[in-house]
Amino acid sequence: MKLLHTSDWHVGKTLKGRSRLDEQKAVLAEIVELAVEHEVDAVLVAGDVYENASPTAEAQKLVITTLLRLARAGIEVVAIAGNHDHGPTFEAYRPLMRQAGIRLIGSPRSAEQGGVLRFRARSTGEEAVLATLPFLSQRYAVRAAEVITQTPAQNVGAYDQMIRDVLANLTAGFTDQTVNLAMAHLTVLGGRLGGGEREAQSIMEYSVPAAIFPIDAHYVALGHLHRRQSVPAAAPVHYSGAPLAVDFGEQDNTNVVCLIEVAPDTPARVTDLPIRSGRRLRTVTGTVEQLVADPTAYGEDFLRVRVTQAAYAGMREHLLEALPNALEIRLDPQFSVSPHTDAARRTPAAARTPAELFADYCASAAVDDPRLNRLFDELHDDLTSGRA
């Protein structure tokens, strides 16, 4: 059978106040096209479908439309909630979406209560067993472990042991006659952050060893880390990564979805399918003259600009006029503090003229613009001469 693994869509995410809904729409349309082109039997969406727990109507419409397009193409569609999603809302829509051929899992469930899904591949008739584990915060991990494993909370160990216990219940039905799959939204030790994750829910106590996944799993589809990667383990454990860079920290990541071809008696073969939609994020560095020399070279890329010279009045406006896709403009740290600032602070303010005080202020703000000094002198003359 053929499967498509994707995650971390973050629909509704803005970047420095700039909406990216059009890009997200193009990326999701490309994912649908790839799923149809490769005639996959199922699409697995491993969490963080939305950017936040209260997505806008436009974001919800885009996600629902995408999932429906996949289902109408005869594809089995399964999506779990990530740490950015609102699990209870997934659960509320679960019965309705099931009628449309879409399976949403918002909260951890035992195998008997729907945490394990079974479906047959339309292409081969092979049966798949899919263990699903949405994101579990530490706050709810104990409760989930109690509900699913019947283990008293006082006997449950650390977070990774709770996850291990839950997965043991969910994967107990794996057999050598089925394609055994697991899908979860979590951080596995050895995985590398992609650059845009919430670190508080990605590190330390939220990390679990890859050994928690059983050796008889044909494929483990993970979400949460935005970098495409596989994690060494007894079973094939893969992060598909985000299909669109969500922040400049991810500008060098490779955006893909994973095509998996597998059978009960055949190891999974994984192929990365590039996602080409969406605008590139790029960091550019130089003096103002260098940065604006050839604006067309940046194309439609969104830019993070680092300026390697002292600031001057109107510099930001100058750059934005020449580079309308610049979303962030900052001085390189070596130009952000004047070497004269500390010396000036050691001289009592009363011993310096107003012009010197203003010059000190400009130096502390890393602004070097003689025009400002001249304007200050004119204003000071007008005020002290009584002409103002």
Judge whether 58 and 282 are in contact, CB under 8 Å: no
Report the distance separating Cα 213 and Cα 238, nearest Å: 12
Report the distance separating Cα 229 and Cα 314, nearest Å: 44
**Residue 238 has what pLDDT?**
97
Judge whether 218 and 236 are in contact, CB under 8 Å: yes
Q: Where are the alpha helices (DSSP H) in the chain?
A: 21-37, 57-72, 87-99, 138-149, 159-170, 288-291, 315-322, 341-346, 354-364, 370-385
The string of DSSP letters for 309-369 reads: S-B-TTHHHHHHHH-TTEEEEEE-GGGTS-TTHHHHHHS-GGGS-HHHHHHHHHHHTTB--
Ramachandran quadrant class, 156 (left: phi over 0; alpha: psi -120 to 50; beta: rest): beta
Report the distance separating Cα 156 and Cα 144, nearest Å: 11
Amino acid letter for position 352: R
Judge whether 44 and 6 are in contact, CB under 8 Å: yes
Classify 87 as helix, strand or coil. Answer: helix
Report the distance separating Cα 240 and Cα 227, nearest Å: 7
**Residue 180 has what pLDDT?**
98
Amino acid letter for position 378: E
Look at the block and give the residue holding tokens 């107003």: 354
Overall pTM surpassing 0.85 (yes/no): no
Report the distance separating Cα 181 and Cα 78, nearest Å: 12
Residue among 202, 120, 118, 130 at smallest CA distance from 167? 130
Question: In the chain, what are the domain boundaries?
Answer: 2-274, 281-385
Spatial CB neighbours of 352, under 8 Å, sequence gap ≥ 6: 344, 360
Judge whether 55 and 64 are in contact, CB under 8 Å: no
**Residue 200 has what pLDDT?**
47
Strand partners, 19: 14
Judge whether 83 and 137 are in contact, CB under 8 Å: yes
**Residue 311 has what pLDDT?**
87
**Residue 192 has what pLDDT?**
81
Report the distance separating Cα 328 and Cα 305, nearest Å: 6
**Residue 382 has what pLDDT?**
67
Question: What pLDDT, in 10s, does the model give residues 291-328?
Answer: 999 999 999 999 999 999 988 888 999 999 999 999 99
Check the CA dihedral 95-97-98-104 and report its sign: negative
Spatial CB neighbours of 260, under 8 Å, sequence gap ≥ 6: 2, 3, 4, 5, 219, 268, 269, 270
**Residue 201 has what pLDDT?**
42
- What stretch of H or E contains 185? strand 179-185
**Residue 50 has what pLDDT?**
97
Q: What angle do CA 90, 96, 97 make, to 5 degrees?
A: 65
CATH class for the domain made up of 2-274: alpha beta
Q: How far lies 327's CA from each of 18, 134, 303, in Å?
A: 8, 33, 6
Question: Which residues of the chain, if any, have pLDDT below 50?
Answer: 152-157, 200-204, 339, 341, 344
Judge whether 283 and 308 are in contact, CB under 8 Å: no
